[in-house]
Amino acid sequence: MKIIVGLGNPGVRYENSRHNIGFLVVDRIAKTNHISLSTRLSKILYGLGWIDSERVVLLKPTTFMNRSGEAVIKAFHLFGSGTEDLIIIHDDLDLPFGRLRFKRRGGDGGHQGVRSLIDSIGGNKFLRLKVGIGRPPRGMDPAEYVLETLDKAEQSQLGEILSGAAEAIRVTLIEGVDRAMNRFQKKRSNNGTLE
């Protein structure tokens, strides 16, 4: 059983922030696959269901981003899973807005949620889907930028990006990550379409 974790911060204040793109993708996956994200335990909100023929847990940590690893450890104990069953979805400053990129292993890239995961589970042997949020304007603190609400231009593209990310996860589960990489790691042109 795969555990699909979207990273973000809990609470209304952060609901539509760039840093919560992982939460938004998991919400879209849940909606698309009729999975109820309604079971709340200490440190996690989750739902069990199916994506095509694959049994999955969709999970959102209820800790703050820099303690996400605590939630994943809780899920491992609850579901008897390990790092080979883990898929993490998170925002990435170094990718243009809306660009998708899969990554196996690697460092945290300065992402506090990924750092917490690596520290908590004792390694980086998990699959990630990174969703680009772009760089902040010159002179703006990246920590401030990621916590800002998505602007109107970003919100206008958000539905397509979330659907693409949800489909990328489905393809990964059913056809494998290499097929998903070939289909979804494309450049996004200036007008927002995929090249």
List beta partners, residue 41: 44
pLDDT tens figures, 1-35? 999 999 999 999 998 999 999 999 999 999 999 99
DSSP 33: T
Task: Please give the positions annotated as active site.
Answer: 19
Q: Where residue 154 falls among pLDDT bands split at 50, 70, 90?
A: very high
Quickly count: other Cβ atoms within 10 Å of residue 123's Cβ: 11
**173 conformational bin, left if phi > 0, alpha if psi -120 to 50, beta if neither:** alpha
Residue 192 has pLDDT above 50, yes or no: no
Could you give the domains of the chain? 2-184 (3.40.50.1470)
3-state secondary structure of 6: strand
Q: Where residue 186 falls among pLDDT bands split at 50, 70, 90?
A: low
Rounded Cα distance, 72 and 79, in Å: 10
The model's pTM: 0.91
% of the chain with per-residue pLDDT over 70: 94
The reported pLDDT for the residue numbered 111 is 82
pLDDT tens figures, 47-69? 999 999 999 999 999 999 999 99
pLDDT tens figures, 79-114? 888 888 999 999 999 999 999 999 887 776 778 888
Residue 38 has pLDDT above 50, yes or no: yes
Q: What's the mean per-residue pLDDT of the chain?
A: 90
In a 13 Å sphere around the CA of 70, the CA atoms on its Cβ side amount to 12
